[in-house]
Structure 1
Amino acid sequence: MNAPALSPATPAKTAPAARVGIGGPVGSGKTALVERLIAAFAARKVDLAVITNDLVTHEDAERVRRSGLIDPARVSAVEAGACPHTVIREDPTLNIEAADDLERRFPGVELILIESGGDNLASTFSRDLTDFWIFVIDVAGGDDIPRKRGPGVLKCDLLVINKADLAPHVGVDLDGMIAEARRVRAGRPVIVTNCRRSEGIDAVADHLEREVLFRT
Structure 2
Amino acid sequence: MIGKSVIKLEAVDIYQQKHLVLNNVNLEINPGEFVFLIGQTGSGKSSLLKVIYGELHIANGQGQVAGFDLKNLTEKDVPFLRRKLGIVFQDFQLLTDRSIEENLEFVLKATGWKDKNLISTRILDVLEKVGLRSKVKKMPHELSGGEQQRVVIARALLNDPEIILADEPTGNLDPDTSEDIVGLLKEISQSGTAVLMASHDYHIIRTFPSRIIKCEGGAIHMDAQI
- Name the TM-score class by shorter chain: 0.3 to 0.5
TM-score normalised to structure 2 length: 0.31
Higher strand share goes to which structure?
2
| Larger RCO: 1 or 2 (CA < 8 Å, sep 6+) | 2
- What TM-score, normalized by structure 1, do the two folds share? 0.32
